[in-house]
């Protein structure tokens, strides 16, 4: 006897919803400005959009955590290997890191920009930027998950799409490093575009997980 591992389907549903929210948040967020004064002005000129983008992103990151925890406890083939188990564990941890960034930017960072308080803005922006380091590692985790699906005998998504997601995830991580750590402007655009492509694939993966029977595991009570 076998029983369907509902955790895979539930985790997939939350992953798809989370990814849709992330795409929406990234679309509203847009590329980061080249320097802090320009970024402060950008936020002050349209604070409602900035707040909306980050609360939507915060919701998406929260659901990433839910999806990752469900998949980790599902006992499915998604976490059969050492690297894939680690990737699914890294997903909620890095999402939590970036969640604090999103909340800080939706609240105190926005308030400081609107009031023109550059000292508070710079201090909290440094905090938010530090926590946002998780973005690079979240993308690397998705690269591992996508690579595993591309090489699987029973993939959830077509191999070409999974390999595209691997490239996009690596580009997202590299773009963040180039843009934020080395202050190369094109890196910020690369991060935004690659992150959207990466998230489109995780929507696809999540939907496929909700429809798949690949998550079946032996019934422990079977004789």
- Global pTM reads 0.92
Q: Enumerate helices (H) and strands (E) in the chain, giving the number of each.
A: 9, 2
Dihedral of alpha carbons 99, 102, 104, 106, sign: negative
pLDDT digits (tens, 9 = 90+) for 111-168: 999 999 999 999 999 999 999 999 999 999 999 999 999 999 889 999 999 999 999 9
Q: Which of 132, 77, 80, 82 shows the shortest CA–CA distance to 103?
A: 132
pLDDT digits (tens, 9 = 90+) for 57-87: 999 999 999 999 999 998 888 998 999 999 9
Nearest-10 crossing angle of helices 82-104, 47-72 = 150
- The residue ranking higher by pLDDT, 166 or 1, is 166
Q: Band the pLDDT of 217: cuts 50, 70, 90.
A: very low
Mean pLDDT of the chain: 92
Mean pLDDT over 24-36 rounds to 94
Q: Taking 50 as the threshold, does the pLDDT of residue 2 lie above it?
A: no
- Six-digit token string for 30: 């847009």
Q: Band the pLDDT of 18: cuts 50, 70, 90.
A: very high
Distance of CA 161 to the CA centre of its chain: 17
Q: Taking 50 as the threshold, does the pLDDT of residue 219 lie above it?
A: no
**Dist CA 29 CA 144 (whole Å):** 26
Cα atoms found within 13 Å of the Cα of residue 146, Cβ hemisphere only: 27
């Amino acid at each position: 006897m076998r029983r369907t591992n509902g955790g895979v389907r539930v985790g997939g549903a939350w992953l798809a919803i989370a990814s849709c929210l992330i795409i929406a948040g990234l679309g509203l967020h847009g590329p980061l400005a080249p320097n802090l004064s320009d970024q402060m002005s950008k936020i002050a000129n349209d604070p409602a959009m900035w707040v909306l983008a980050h609360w939507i992103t915060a919701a998406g990151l929260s659901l990433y955590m839910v999806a990752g925890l469900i998949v980790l406890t599902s006992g499915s083939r998604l976490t059969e290997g050492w690297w894939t188990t680690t990737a699914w564990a890294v997903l909620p941890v890095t999402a939590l890191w970036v969640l604090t960034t999103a909340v800080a930017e939706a609240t105190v960072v926005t308030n400081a920009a609107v009031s023109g308080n550059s000292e508070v803005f710079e201090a909290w922006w440094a905090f938010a930027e530090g926590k946002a380091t998780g973005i690079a590692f979240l993308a690397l985790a998705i690269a591992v998950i996508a690579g595993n699906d591309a090489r699987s005998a029973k993939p959830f998504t077509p191999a070409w799409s999974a390999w595209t997601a691997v490239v996009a995830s690596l580009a997202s991580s590299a773009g963040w490093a180039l843009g934020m750590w080395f202050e190369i402007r094109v890196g910020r655009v690369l991060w935004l575009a690659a992150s959207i492509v990466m998230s489109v694939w995780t929507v696809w993966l999540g939907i496929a997980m909700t429809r798949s029977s690949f998550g079946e595991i032996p019934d422990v009570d079977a004789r």
